[in-house]
Structures are given as structure tokens and as C-alpha cells.
Structure 1
Amino acid sequence: MPLPYVAEPHAIEAADVLAGLEVDRTRGLTGEEAARRLAIFGPNALRRRQRASVLGVLVDQFKSPIVFLLLGAAALSIGFGETVEFLAIIAVLAINTAIGFTTEIRAVRSMEALRELTSRSALVRRNGTVATMSAEKLVPGDIVIVDAGDVLAADMRLVESSNLSVDESALTGESLPVSKTVKPVSADTVLADRSCMLFKGCAVTGGTGEAVVTGTGMNTELGRITRLVEEATPDRSPLERQLALLSRHLIWLTLAVTALVAIAGIAAGQDMALMIKSAVALAVAAIPEGLPIVATLALARGMLRMARHNALIEHLSAVETLGATTVILTDKTGTLTENRMHVDRVVTATGEIAFDRHTGSFLLDGRPIEPAAKSDIGLLLRNAALCNNATLGDNRDASTGDPMEIALLELAASGGVRREELLARYPETCEHAFDVHTRMMATVHEDGDRFLVAVKGAPEAVLEVVTDVANGDGTLPFDREQRRHWATVCEVLAMQGLRLLAVAGKPAQDLDEPVYHDLTLYGIVGFQDPPRSDVPGAIADAQRAGIAVVMVTGDHAATAQHISKSVGLTGIGHLEAIVGRDLKPYEEMTEEDKDAARAARVFARVDPEQKLSLIRLHQDAGEVVAMTGDGVNDAPALQQADIGIAMGLRGTQVAREASDLVLRDDAFSTIIHAVREGRVIYTNIRRFTTYLLSCNLSEILIVGMAVLAGLPLPLLPLQILFLNLVTDVFPAFALGTIEADRNVLARPPRPPSEPILARGQWIAIVTHGISIAGVTLAALGLALYQFGLDGDGVTTMCFYTLALAQLWHVFNMRNWRSNLLSSEVTRNHYVWLAIGFCIAVLAVADLQPQVSDALRLAPLGVEAWLSVIGLSVVPVLLRELAAIGMRLNRRHHARAGR
């Protein structure tokens, strides 16, 4: 038996859908047929993604070439009986593994969050009987009864509807509840406009209806988004890519230098065992064991700083990636706007009246007015409050009902008109609920021995049934000229991105009189979801920082275009909004299409797949893309983006779980704060990476030069490990806390392809490494030929010279424009705390017998200590002399330029 299936249920009549699904609406499926279909289609549940296992995450920590190199060094150490060195290397691996494990393990929760949207039960007709059953047992062809408050359990085609409205904002981005009807739409209608369809996970906000299930589980629109989330594979962050590249370079450098030194030493007649020990020392010296630790701590500190600015980071690497962001794709509703409908203006026959919602004042031609009870604006306020089912609370959050109806009550209250008082005077006798066919709503009220009819609805519908227009205290006939005038008014307001309602009414002699005939038009009300007050400034900051901001919304093009202009996103010369239906699939785009899409700043009526295409479009051009979102429909794009940013106040759990960053205040300006912090972090990462690698290079040069020169080994592997993990790490972390300069947002984002260490940083690493190695080799010479030391005495003098030189080296990490005693480094109290702590650790290593024995440190005389201290400050003095020369040279050129 073939499977019951309907390809495009929104495009055909309800009866044809029922026939295609082989179901009688009045009886529903039989139990046997439902069981057969359940076996074929499976449970009505979203696919579960298998969680990443703890063991798998742990194993991933060892998939690093640096780890393999350290393991090789450990194996050689144990092979030569150096148990202490072996244990030290293993301890380093354990520390790095623990840090990586705790920061990277994150269960994949997006699918679980999506399943939370599934209704637990549904009211279903089977065998002619209506009963409540588990939503997981629904199958295509089931007849479901829906009511206000239900969360829809499957995708369904309406077969009967009575004033049904559904909140689809999480799925489509549409900010207002959508009215539903049984009437089919064209096959190419976008998801947001398929008025005859109900979608899994959306909530019924009003009315009732019956629908036939057309899709369950992964065959629903929510299931399609689930699949997109699974397919969205975000690349590693720029920082992760750069550190991985740097690690590979270090590995090749280590292997090359180690092999060169070992071969040269053996060729020169050196003992092979000594050469292998030297190779272990070189391997340990070349690897910046402290770099992962310092990078993690710096990122964690940045995460805490962002949290104080209401930005919660999910992944540590996202802290730095924010600083590299070049494009922000942002939703409109609730991100750029307040996600609350407000009346912006009212147009009556008297003129256009602006409404200031903050002060509750009415302005006509810029002058405040008081709405008189019998004036056209007064009558409009009265009927807007009467034809209304919302309830106005003490504050906006306490109000209940349709957002536009709440806004009408606020408007009326500002004019001194309250619904409760009106109902006491005009008791409601009946209501004609909003109907998608008439596109109007009416209420009838007692007015003495007569009745009062209050109507509101879509302007084009209301204007068809009015016969006159309120004008001051009287009326004007609604003739051809008036019709043309009001049509123009509506067109102008709609072009400004406003949502419109017409308000009308009439007196009636009895209840049987048709309500939608011979009406008097009182005016047009224009609503808008106003921009958040902080958005224009934040967008200006983003543009100043060289970041392109692009609005991507499911709302209408006119609304999106208006908001984009009001917040400064677009202006004169910018392209008009691109509508989703005009956006080609990514695979079909020509280069011209791609260029046009990248240049656009507003996209309207886009679906989840198109959001993914836009992200990939910019990523393929080398951009680092941040994407904001709050709904289920945003989850795939949030997953695909380099930085997914979810709204914490109104965002769905799905969006939050798919994101790297959650905004606790839903403010776009918070993103800019986070970008600033990300740039600071990157600058500091570059600073302490330069510091650590120059220290490591000095160690390589010290060991390599000594071995090639036939001198005793100046440093032992364990001593190098001690320096790399103690005296290097704490100053490096202090460098990661340096505050940024004020112009950090005035610079463009760094190119995503730019390496973490550019030419300038490599020059600094080499020059500083040579100077530190030079003074340590000088200490080696003094130990051998001046003080007559040997064995542990030689390595001790080299060890302390190198340790102190690396400590003072932290002051070389300042900008060359700053002097030695007053710089961003010396002003940071963490730097001084780190130096003090490291000096204390070195003192303990010298004075504590167990530690000094493990490190094989020998006592030094006073002259040797004075030489150690004097040599250690030489690299800092050389750097200061070079900086002075550069400053003088700059001043000379500046004078010459005048």
C-alpha cells in the first residue's frame, strides 16, 4: 500500500489534502491505520543528537603535535633514567590536558532544547471519537482539534478555522500573531505567509480550529531546522586556527634545530648519550608549555569582564573571535527594536497627529492638543478602546492581549479614555470577532435606547465600507476624492514601515443591523516597533570600528527598511532591502549576485536556509561573521556563524544553546562592548605570545650554541620546564591583563588571514631571544673561566641569569613610544605582583633543599650573584636604548617634515 502523502498542502484545497492523506475528517483514522502509519513514519519526535562522550573529549586533548613531542621527550627521559624529568613532563601534560578538558567539554544541547518545544499531548479524533493522546503518537492524516493556548504538536493543514491566530515568531521572525484561514495560498508562498498551515512548536494565541496532520517529527518545518542545525558546521575560531598554525611551525622548528644540533655534535665527536640528552633539553625548550595555560586564563578573564557587561560567553575562544568580527548579521525584532508595538501617529480628517508615548502627549503640527470627546480624535480613541479585548495593566509587562490592542489602550488612556469607564457607560452586548475574510472586528454597545458600533480593521477593508468621515464635530461624505486621499495616506504611512489599523463606527437602531455597512471613518492609526534607544549609537560605533552591520529579518521589507534608516544602518545611496523570494540559492548565485548580496544591508522575509546562505556568503569572502537571533528559526545560522549571539531575555532555549554568546540585556550595544573586549584580548594574546616565544627561543639558542661550541650543557631539561611553567607563566598572564588604549574601536578589524604573530612580532622574538641568550652564555663563560665552576655550579649560574633576564624581559613588552619607567606595562599592578611572586619562587628554589636538589642547584658566591644580576638587566637596557633611538629618529623626521 502506497504511503499517504501531500507534497504542498498549503497550495491545495483542504478537501484535496484530506483525500491525499486518505482520511475522513468526521471520523479520523482508525486505530489500526494509525498504528500502521506510526510504524512507517516513526514517532513524532525530533532526532536526538548523540552527546559527545567524556572519553571522546578527553582523547581529543591528546591529538596535538606538541603533546606528541612532549611524550617523545618523556620517553627519552625515562629511557636514560631521568625519572624526575619524566615525571615533570608528564605533570605538564596533565595540567594542559585538565585545562583543555574542562574548557572544551560541552554537551550538544541544541536538539534537546528543540524537543522541549514539542507539545506533550494533543486532542485527536480517531474512530469518530475525540481523545487526548501523546503527541509522539501523531501520524500524517490525524485530525487534531486546536484551541487557544495549545502548542502545536505537528505540521498541519487547517480544515476549519474560527478566528484562529498563532504566534509564529520563534519560527518565522514575524513579530505579531498571525491570523489563520482555510483558504489555500500559492505554491511559492514563503513560510511566514502560509496562512492555512500550522507549524510544530508554535503557540495558538486565539480562536479554535481543526487541522489534518501533514508532517511529523523530522518531516516538519521544525525538524527541517533541526537538520540544518546538525548540518551547520562552524569552523574553528580565528584564534584556534592561528594557535594551531603556530604550533605546527614550532614543531618543525623544534625537530629541525634538534636534529641539526644532534648531528653536528655527534659529527664533532661529542658523546651520543649527551647529544640525546641535549636533544631532549632542546625539545623542552622549544615548546611554550605555558602558552595554553596563559591563553586560557586570559580568555577566562575576558569572559568574566564581558559578563559584567551582560555578555555571557559559552566558548572561551569566542572572547577573542569577537575582536576579529568584520560582519554582524542582526535580527530586527527585539534586537534593534523593543519588540513592543506602540502607536506612532494617528491621521484624522483634522490632520496628522503625532503621539509621544514617553510623555503621552498628542502633537498636531508640533503643538500639543487635548483630544476632545466629540472631536474626530476623541471618537477614534473611544472606539479603539471599545473594540478591544486587551487588558491594560499598571505597566506594560502586566498588560495582556494582542500587542496592537494593548497599544491602542495606551493611546486611549493617554487621551483620558479608559476602557473600564467606557464599558460602564456603553455596556458591550455582542462581539463580531476578527475574521480573516472581512479583516475587521466589531463590538456592539448599548447607548441609551440605541446601540453603538465600534469597528477596527485593515484600512483597505474598512475604507470599502465607510460612507462618511468624521471631521471635527461633524462629518464629510466619503466620496471619490476622499477615497483617493485616504488611500494616499495609507500608502505613505506603509512606506514608512508602520503597521496600520483603521478605526470606524456608527450609531445603530437595533442589534440586527449589519455592523460592516454605512460606517463613519474616524482615522488611521500607525503602529511601529520602535528602535531601542541605544542602537543608533552602537551601530555608529560598529561602523567606526570597521564592522559591517546587516539586518536579516523575517518581517516585511517596508518595516525593515524604515527601521534600518531610523537607526542609521542605511541612508542615502544604500541599496533597497532584498526580499527573501528574490534571493537566489547560494549555489545558483553568480559573482555579481554574490557581490550585490554582500553589499546589501537589509534583508527581509528570509527563511532559515537563506540565513545560512548569507553567513556562508560572507565567510567565503574571508569575513568573520557574528549572527544574532532569538528564535528557533535562528538556531542553524547561530550554529554556522563564527560567533552566534542569542538574546537572553526573550530568546528561546534553542537559540541560546546554539550560540557562543548570550546577551543578558538583549542590547545590541552589549555586542560592541564585547567586540572591544575581544580586541583587547587579542592584543594581549599577541603580547604575551611574543614574550613566551622570545623566552623559549633564548633557551633554544643557549642549549644549541653551547652544544655546538663543545661547552657543558648550560641548562637541564627539568630547569627549563621549571622556567617555562613558573617564571614565564605568571608574567605572561600579567601581560594578558593590560588595559587597552582608548582608540581600540577606532581601528578596523584585523584581517582574518593575518597570523597571530606578524613580521614585527617575529623580529621582536628573534632580537629579544638573542639578547637574553647572549647574557646567559656570558654567564656560562664567567662560570667556567672567571669563577672556575663546574657541573651543577655552571648550570645554576646560567639558570638564575636566564630566570631573572626573562623576568625583566616583561618590561620589553611595552610600546616603543613609552619609556621604561612609565608605560602600560609598569602601570599594571599585576605585572609587579607576578615579578614579586616569581622572585619568591626562585628564592625558595635556592633555599629549600628538596627543591634545589630536584633542580640540581648549587650555592653561588657573592661575586657570582652580582654577575647574575648585572647580566640579567642588560637586555632591558639594550631595548630602552633602541627605543630612545627610535623616538629621537621619529622626532628628527617630524622636524624635517616641517
Structure 2
Amino acid sequence: MQPISAPEKPHQIPIDQLIQALNVDPKTGLTADEAKRRYEESGPNALQEAKRESAFTILLRQFTGVIVYILAAAAGISFFLGETVEGFAIIAVLLINAITGFILEWNARQSMDALRKMDTTPARVLRDGRIREISSEEVTIGDILVVEAGDLVAADANLFEVSQLQADESALTGESLPVDKNTELPPDESPLGDQHNRLFKGTPVTAGTGRAVVTGIGQQTELGKIATMVEEAKRSATPLEAKLDSLAKVLIWVTVGLAALFLVVGLLRNEEPLRLIETALALSIAAIPEGMSVVATIALAYGMLRLAEKKVIVKRLSAVETLGGTNVIFTDKTGTLTQNRIEVNTLQLPGQQAEIRADAEAQKLEVVHGDQAITESETYQQLIRVGVLCNNADYDIVDGKPKEVGDPVEVSLLKFAIAAGQNPDQIHREFPRKAEKAFSSDTRIMGTLHEHNNGFLVAVKGAAEEVLDRCQSLDEKDRKAYYDLSEKMATDGLRTLAFAYRQTDTRPGDDFADKDLTYIGLIGFLDPPRTEVTPALQACREAGIKVIMVTGDHPATALTIASKVRLIEPGEEMVLTGKDLKPLNELQADDRKKLLECRVFARVSPAQKLDMIELYQQDGDIVGMTGDGVNDAPALKKSDIGIAMGLRGTQVAAETADMVLKDDSFTSIVTAIAQGRVIFENIRKFVLFLLSCNLSEIFVVTFAGFLNVGNPLLPLQILFINIVTDVFPALALGVGRENSSLMHQPPRDPKTPIMDRRDWRMLVLYALAITASVLGAYWFGTQKLGLTQQEGNNLTFYALSFAQLMHVFNLRSGRSFFVNEITRNRYIWYALLLCVFILLLTYYVPFLAQILSIKTIPSTELWMIAVAGIAPVILIQLVKGVMRLGK
């Protein structure tokens, strides 16, 4: 027997041909034996399990990176030369960094687990002529699914029998409203949102009943394809990781070059090889900022904690800085820019029009635009009455919380009535229902019959064309005018319904909703925008960040929301759909330009979202992606920074993203961006601080060696300075205060390294100033005061330590030396006090003094240490003052 396989493009296959191809009887379903055979052949209807990242793998990753490799090599050389204390000290640095990184990265980010949780519901299938309830994993290709309101669809399937069937596909397609299902074939290239003849795995049925033949299970489903994309979408190194790695490579060449130069010069001078190797090792240690990775990790962790207080949960450390550098943000519409609920937005009555805002909880209705007198007309009251009566939904406030049951559009009509001051329950008591004509895809109207004052009232709502055709009192001109008005409302992104009624003294027959109706008007429904989005988007504009809407919803709806929230300005009203998007490898220069200029994309598939993100990444941008649905998961993972909505979002999106907004507020993204920019500025400052300190150590050792005035620093002393007296001030710089001015500047160029040319020039200037001061003190002490080599070594150690501590005040960005972000940072003062205390311990604790070769310092050296520490700060401030005057 030939194996049964999932058909390609099942939405294009007529249902009769599909049933025949799948070899199933739609009246009886598969036999138990055939279902078992297909299950064994095709496997379970479950998503494949992603490979888990073990704790060992996460820990092992902490020992990767260029700086780590250099430190490991330095430790190996130390052990080889018998310098075991130095070797163990370097290993301790590596372990501290690895443990810190492991603890902060250990979290559950298994998006596949979340996807799999959508698989555990039961399913009802037709087998051997009887409806049976089975595990969703046992559903196989060719099974006949039986669904009704409240079910979660177990597999992808094509419908062949429907009755008022609707499904909520917002998590899969981005479509705000439940989708009406039918058995008609859509156009060939229809996106998922327009394939109304299909049901999709993992989507809930919101109304009606239906039967469908299963065409895809497990990874073959649309949900499975998204799961595969989530698993296959690869994260590239974040900008911060890449920049730190690039900086580390520069340090390798500096280290190798200086060490080699020193060795060659020393050998030409016939100096002792062992001494040369020890000095070269000292240079290597001096060239490497051992504390940089630890400080970067802690600075990012501090940023994580600050964002957590502001309802932003960060799952990846580097994501804090990455968001600060983001210059393009892709955002979904539903639930992100909008509230993911349907509300009455526009009223179109004969001769009157208004845009309204209805608040049912506050029982308040406001006319925000249009005819303010519309609420005083009798037609308006009749519209409310018909909207309540021709309605099967329920809305109530229980214990202070709204409770909604039924179709979202019908719920919005009840909320509209309550906001207008009407009581739906009272209206139902005054107009008891006697009959109903349910909505169907054939008639596209719903009608109800009510008794009132010894007469009857017919209430009708439905598609404008169908309702208008049943209003015989309208002439052809008016009918066309009202229909054109409904089409314009649809073009503006509104879902429209027409309303009509009829009053009669005698009870009408079964065709009560089909003739002699009186037209009332149109209502336009909209998923309303989130009120806080507009100022947040304006803040993004001021910060030079481009925000782009990418949604699976209707183009007109997408454009309307984009205009309402001011995502686009006048003149930017271009919208492209999935049909307009070519594969990335087929784009020409003009195509790329058009895509990069467009701000609104609609009817876009998950795969096309990935292409859009990659397009911008290829253009050199740092891309953020916000989303809340299953359909957003691959793009959240592919982007440089994935941002999920925590309240309305699916668990899949939250597990896949790098950040989760607990309050679903787009404003929180702006807050996170500001924090990210502050973090990057702080990182730039402490990298500049650490490297200038390290370069001063290199200069001290190198210049002393070339001048043949002895070895002013020992390798272990350099290591001590690097991991103690350098790290704490650098850490204080890393957790500096926020700088609001950063959000009024454009995003930094993602291609720009952490340190630009100006930073490198200042770095050399800082290092030379410290070197001149420290070597000056060393020369004066040994040559003029007659200090021994060891006493000179101790003088250099404390002078360099103190000079580097004072150097932190050179990193200010303001003009005032005494009032700036450095002096206002209390952690700077804590760090300085701590480091001074540690330096005192190295002198007064015998064990530490022995390890660092510290001997008693004569009192004459104390004033030299103080002068050597303060002199570089004075010199740098004078140079900066001259530079400012020269501008």
C-alpha cells in the first residue's frame, strides 16, 4: 500500500480531490487499523524536541573568548617559569569570571517546550463511523476532525463542512478578529490569514462547528514549520560581544609585538634570557585588562536589575547593551501597538458621522471627531437597541473585573450600549426574543424577532451589501452611496456591519429578516491603539530609531493603526504586503531601496519576517523585534534583540525572546533603550579607564627596560593592580547614573567600535601622563634619593596604584571638574575607599606584603607617592582645557 503523505499547498486543492487523494470516507473516517498503520508510518502528531543546552555547555562557554585564551596562556607560562602564585592568581580571575557568567546566564529559554505545551489537548475524530476522543498526538493524516467552539485545533486540516465556524488565529497570523471559515477555495497565492478553508494546529475555535480532513501533523503543520524556524534561526554574536572580541584581538597584537620587541632588544644587549622572559610575561599581563570581562558582566547584570524594577525582564546579559544600540525596531500590530480587543470606533448614520470612544467600565461615551449631536438622534438610539437585541454575547462586571462571553464584535456592541448609558438587560426585558435567524456564510446576516407593546420588532445586522438589498425603501442611488461608504470604511481599516430594523403589528413569518427593512446605519469596528504608544514612538523618532510595523493583518487596518499612533507621518503612507516581497536572494537594488523606505508591511508570513530582519542586518543595522504571537517567535530569535509582550503574549514568544515586557507597554522599550545607551556609555568609559591603566603599566615596564634602569614592577604586582585597584573603580564606572541627553542623540553607528579614534588618542595621552609621573618618581627616588631597587619597586607599585585610582576623575564628560557624573556617582567614592583600604592591607598584612615583595617604605617616599598620583590628573585637566580653548 502506498504511504500517505501531506499534500503541498493544501488550500489550493478542491476538497473532493483532497479526500480522494487521502483515501478517506468523510462520512465514516479512517478505520482503526488504517489509522494505526498511518500513525506508525508518519509518527506522532507532536513537535520535535529541540536539543537542550546542558549546564556543562553553558559553563564551558564561559571559558571561550580571546582574552580568556590569552590569560590561560599567561597562566601556563607562569607555571612553566615556576611562578606558581602568579599562575594561580590568573586562574582565579578566570574562575571568577566564568562563575559570574554562568550564574547570570542560567535560565530556561527553551521555546520548543512552550510550543510543545500546545500539543497536549485531546481531539475528536471520526473513526469507523463514530466520533472518538483521542490524544492529539494520535491524530494522523487523513483523519476527519470534528470541531466546535472551545476546541483547540489538533492538526492542520481542510474544511468540508461548516456551520457558523470561526477560529482565533491571532497568535499565528496576527489577525485581530476571529476568522470566518468556509469551504471555498481561496486564490492560489493566499497567505495564511486568507486561507479560510483551513484550520491550523494550535488555534482555538471561537464559534460554530465544522468537520475537516487532516492534511498535516507535527512538523508538517504551520505551527511545526514555525517551530522549525525557531530552532534553525541562529543568533549571531551580539554587537557588544563582537566589539569586545575585536578589541581583544588588538590587545593580542599589542602584547605579542611588545613582548617580541623587548626580547629582541634584550638579546641584542646580551641580557639574561630568564629575566627577559619574566619581563616579557610582565608585559603580557600588563597588556591584558583581566578585569574587563568581569566588569562588563557585572555592569550588564546591574542594568538587568534596574530594568527588572521597570517591568522589563532581560534574559541575556548582552541584550541590555544591544538594545541601546538598536536603530531599527520591527513591531507587530496586534497586542503591541493595539489593545488586541475590538471596539466600536465609527458611526455612520444617514446624514451624520462620528468617531467615538466608548468606556463601558466608566459608562462614558465621547465623540472624538465628527457630529457631536449624533448621540441625540432617534436613529442613534435605534442603532444601540438593534445592536443589543441582534446579539448572542454577554458582558458583565464581576467583582470589579469585566467578564466577556461570545463573539468579540457582539461584545463590543454591548459595551457600546453600556457606555452610552443603556442597560442591555433592561432592553432584553422590554423586547423579549421570539425567534432568531442565525448568521451563515450564504446570507451573511443575522436577524432576531422581538415582541414589544403588542407588536413586533425585527433587528438585523450583517454585511452592508446584504442588509442594503433588504431595505426596499431605499432608492438605488442611496443604496449605492451607503455601500460605497462601507467600502471606504473597510479601506480605512475598519470592519463594518450594517444595521436595519422593521416594526410590525403582526408576527412575520420565517423570512422576517429578508424584506421590508428600514436602514439605520453602519458601525466601524477597530482594534484600538494603545494610548501610550504615540509618545513612545515620538521618543524613538527623537532618538533616531526607525520603527517598522510588520503584521499578518489586513493592509488597510495596518495603515490605519500606523497613522493613528503616528508611526508614519503624512507622505509615508506606503504599505507593502507579503505578495510584494520577493525572496531575499532575488532582490534587486531598487527592490531593496523600496523595502528599506517602507514603514508598514501587512499580510507578512513568519518566513518573510525573517527575510526583512536579515535585509536590515545586511544593511548594517542593529535590529530589534517586538511580538506576542507564535508567528513572531522565529523573528524574535533571528533579530539582534527579541522583545516579547508578557501579559498578552504567548509563552512561545516569551521563551524565545531576549527581553519580556511585563506590562506590555511600548514605552518600556524606550526605557530599555535609554538604559542600554547608558550601559554602552558606561562600558566605553570603563574600557577606556582599564586600557589606559594597562597601557601605563606597559609603558612603565617597557620604557624602564629600554632605558636600562631596572625592573620597576613585578608580574604579580601588575596582576594585583589589574584585578584589584583597577577593577573596583571600573566597576563603579560601569554602574554609573543615567544620562537623559543620550536619548536626544542618534543611535551610534553599529559599525563603530567601542573606542573610536578620539578615545584611542585620549588613551595614549592618559597612559603617557601616568607613566611620566610614575617613572619620574621612580627615577628621582633611585637616582637622587639613593633608594634600593626593591624600595624603588615598592615606590612604583604604590605610586602607580594611586595614580590609577585618581585617574577615574579624568573620565568625566561634563565641563565642571567638581560636579559631574563621576563625582555624583557614590559607587566611585566607595570604590576609592575600598581600594585605599586594600592597599593599606598589602603594606600592613605580612602575608600579602610577602607575596607582593613589599618592604618597609621610608617616610620620604609617601609625599612622592602622593605627588605621582595627583600630578597626572592636574596634567590631563590642563591639556583638556587647552584643547577646549583651541576649538
- TM-score of the superposition, structure 1-length normalised? 0.95
Within a 5 Å distance, the mapping from 1:521-540 to structure 2 comes to 521-540=519-538
| Aligned residue identity for 2:552 | G
Separation in 1, partners of 2:417, 2:79: 85
Once the two structures are TM-superposed, the CA of residue 70 in structure 1 deviates from its matched residue by 1.8
Contact residue 52 and residue 107 of structure 1 kept, 8 A: no
Separation in 2, partners of 1:637, 1:869: 57
Contact residue 74 and residue 86 of structure 1 kept, 8 A: yes
Task: Give the structure 2 partner of residue 242 of structure 1.
Answer: 243
Contact residue 498 and residue 527 of structure 1 kept, 8 A: yes
Between 1:787-796 and 1:604-613, the stretch displaced more is: 787-796
Separation in 2, partners of 1:863, 1:12: 96
Contact residue 192 and residue 554 of structure 1 kept, 8 A: yes
Within the candidate set 658, 672, 675, 1:674 is matched to 672
Separation in 2, partners of 1:77, 1:326: 45
Deviations 1:325-352 (A, max 9, x none): 1111111122112222221221122411
Between 1:379-388 and 1:298-307, the stretch displaced more is: 298-307
Task: Give the structure 2 partner of residue 291 of structure 1.
Answer: 292
Q: CA RMSD in A?
A: 1.8
Query: SS of the residue aligned with 1:393?
Result: strand
Between 1:242-251 and 1:123-132, the stretch displaced more is: 123-132
- CA change 1:819–1:360 in 2 (3 A) is closer
Once the two structures are TM-superposed, the CA of residue 60 in structure 1 deviates from its matched residue by 2.4
Task: Give the structure 2 partner of residue 571 of structure 1.
Answer: 569
Contact residue 362 and residue 368 of structure 1 kept, 8 A: no
Task: Give the structure 2 partner of residue 471 of structure 1.
Answer: none
Separation in 2, partners of 1:102, 1:393: 47
Task: Give the structure 1 partner of residue 798 of structure 2.
Answer: 800
Within the candidate set 410, 422, 426, 1:421 is matched to 426
- CA change 1:4–1:80 in 2 (3 A) is closer
Once the two structures are TM-superposed, the CA of residue 491 in structure 1 deviates from its matched residue by 2.8
Once the two structures are TM-superposed, the CA of residue 371 in structure 1 deviates from its matched residue by 4.3
Separation in 2, partners of 1:127, 1:498: 46
Task: Give the structure 1 partner of residue 132 of structure 2.
Answer: 131
Once the two structures are TM-superposed, the CA of residue 103 in structure 1 deviates from its matched residue by 3.1
Query: SS of the residue aligned with 2:313?
Result: strand
| Aligned residue identity for 1:387 | C
Task: Give the structure 1 partner of residue 456 of structure 2.
Answer: 451
Deviations 1:401-437 (A, max 9, x none): 2222122112222333322112212222333222122
Query: SS of the residue aligned with 1:646?
Result: strand
Separation in 1, partners of 2:701, 2:731: 26
Whether 1:389 and 2:386 are equivalent positions in the alignment is no
Once the two structures are TM-superposed, the CA of residue 569 in structure 1 deviates from its matched residue by 1.8
- CA change 1:396–1:439 in 2 (3 A) is farther
Query: SS of the residue aligned with 2:82?
Result: coil
Separation in 2, partners of 1:251, 1:515: 83
Contact residue 395 and residue 403 of structure 2 kept, 8 A: yes
- CA change 1:397–1:279 in 2 (3 A) is farther
Separation in 1, partners of 2:452, 2:562: 46
Deviations 1:99-145 (A, max 9, x none): 23233445550111111112431112222222211111111001121
Task: Give the structure 1 partner of residue 307 of structure 2.
Answer: 306
Within the candidate set 632, 657, 660, 1:659 is matched to 657
Separation in 1, partners of 2:342, 2:419: 16
Deviations 1:289-333 (A, max 9, x none): 111111111111112222222221111111111111111111112
Separation in 2, partners of 1:452, 1:14: 41
| Aligned residue identity for 1:4 | I
Contact residue 385 and residue 418 of structure 1 kept, 8 A: no
Once the two structures are TM-superposed, the CA of residue 698 in structure 1 deviates from its matched residue by 0.8
Contact residue 404 and residue 527 of structure 1 kept, 8 A: yes
Query: SS of the residue aligned with 1:356?
Result: strand
| Aligned residue identity for 1:3 | P
Deviations 1:598-620 (A, max 9, x none): 10011111111111111111111
Separation in 1, partners of 2:469, 2:508: 23
Task: Give the structure 2 partner of residue 193 of structure 1.
Answer: 194
Separation in 1, partners of 2:736, 2:54: 37
Task: Give the structure 2 partner of residue 737 of structure 1.
Answer: 735
Separation in 1, partners of 2:592, 2:886: 48
Separation in 2, partners of 1:463, 1:366: 23
| Aligned residue identity for 1:10 | H
Once the two structures are TM-superposed, the CA of residue 497 in structure 1 deviates from its matched residue by 2.1
| Aligned residue identity for 1:716 | L
Task: Give the structure 1 partner of residue 879 of structure 2.
Answer: 882
Contact residue 105 and residue 315 of structure 2 kept, 8 A: no
| Aligned residue identity for 1:338 | Q
Separation in 2, partners of 1:791, 1:825: 37
Separation in 2, partners of 1:183, 1:698: 77
| Aligned residue identity for 2:880 | A
Deviations 1:797-854 (A, max 9, x none): 1110000000000011112x52332332112222111111111111111111111112
Task: Give the structure 2 partner of residue 638 of structure 1.
Answer: 636
Within a 5 Å distance, the mapping from 1:144-155 to structure 2 comes to 144-155=145-156
Contact residue 646 and residue 660 of structure 2 kept, 8 A: yes
| Aligned residue identity for 2:832 | I
Query: SS of the residue aligned with 1:743?
Result: helix
Whether 1:80 and 2:81 are equivalent positions in the alignment is yes
Separation in 1, partners of 2:601, 2:553: 9
Once the two structures are TM-superposed, the CA of residue 759 in structure 1 deviates from its matched residue by 0.3
Task: Give the structure 2 partner of residue 474 of structure 1.
Answer: none
Task: Give the structure 2 partner of residue 484 of structure 1.
Answer: 480
Contact residue 449 and residue 512 of structure 2 kept, 8 A: no
Contact residue 417 and residue 423 of structure 2 kept, 8 A: yes
Say how many residue pairs are matched.
878
Query: SS of the residue aligned with 1:686?
Result: helix
Task: Give the structure 2 partner of residue 723 of structure 1.
Answer: 721
Task: Give the structure 2 partner of residue 896 of structure 1.
Answer: none
Within a 5 Å distance, the mapping from 1:614-625 to structure 2 comes to 614-625=612-623
Separation in 2, partners of 1:407, 1:819: 59
Within a 5 Å distance, the mapping from 1:556-635 to structure 2 comes to 556-635=554-633
Separation in 2, partners of 1:101, 1:122: 42
Between 1:85-94 and 1:451-460, the stretch displaced more is: 451-460
Once the two structures are TM-superposed, the CA of residue 448 in structure 1 deviates from its matched residue by 4.9
Within a 5 Å distance, the mapping from 1:94-173 to structure 2 comes to 94-173=95-174
Between 1:172-181 and 1:564-573, the stretch displaced more is: 564-573
Once the two structures are TM-superposed, the CA of residue 453 in structure 1 deviates from its matched residue by 2.1
Task: Give the structure 1 partner of residue 489 of structure 2.
Answer: 493
Between 1:107-116 and 1:149-158, the stretch displaced more is: 107-116
Task: Give the structure 1 partner of residue 847 of structure 2.
Answer: 850
Between 1:452-461 and 1:718-727, the stretch displaced more is: 452-461
Separation in 2, partners of 1:823, 1:356: 48
Contact residue 166 and residue 203 of structure 1 kept, 8 A: yes
Once the two structures are TM-superposed, the CA of residue 26 in structure 1 deviates from its matched residue by 1.9
Once the two structures are TM-superposed, the CA of residue 787 in structure 1 deviates from its matched residue by 3.5
Deviations 1:149-194 (A, max 9, x none): 1111110111211111111000000011111112222222211011
Query: SS of the residue aligned with 2:434?
Result: strand
Within a 5 Å distance, the mapping from 1:775-854 to structure 2 comes to 775-815=773-813, 818-854=815-851
- TM-score of the superposition, structure 2-length normalised? 0.96
Within a 5 Å distance, the mapping from 1:354-433 to structure 2 comes to 354-358=355-359, 359-361=364-366, 366-368=371-373, 370-371=375-376, 375-394=378-397, 397-433=402-438
Contact residue 174 and residue 334 of structure 2 kept, 8 A: yes
Once the two structures are TM-superposed, the CA of residue 362 in structure 1 deviates from its matched residue by 5.3
Q: Any gaps of 5 or more consecutive residues in structure 2?
A: none
Separation in 2, partners of 1:592, 1:799: 63
- CA change 1:191–1:365 in 2 (3 A) is closer
Structure 1 runs, 4 residues or longer, greater than 6 Å off: none
Task: Give the structure 2 partner of residue 503 of structure 1.
Answer: 499
- CA change 1:7–1:254 in 2 (3 A) is same
Contact residue 29 and residue 125 of structure 1 kept, 8 A: yes
Separation in 1, partners of 2:432, 2:787: 108
- CA change 1:363–1:858 in 2 (3 A) is closer
Between 1:416-425 and 1:557-566, the stretch displaced more is: 416-425
Between 1:453-462 and 1:42-51, the stretch displaced more is: 453-462
Task: Give the structure 1 partner of residue 864 of structure 2.
Answer: 867
Separation in 2, partners of 1:295, 1:633: 34
Query: SS of the residue aligned with 1:360?
Result: strand
Once the two structures are TM-superposed, the CA of residue 652 in structure 1 deviates from its matched residue by 0.4
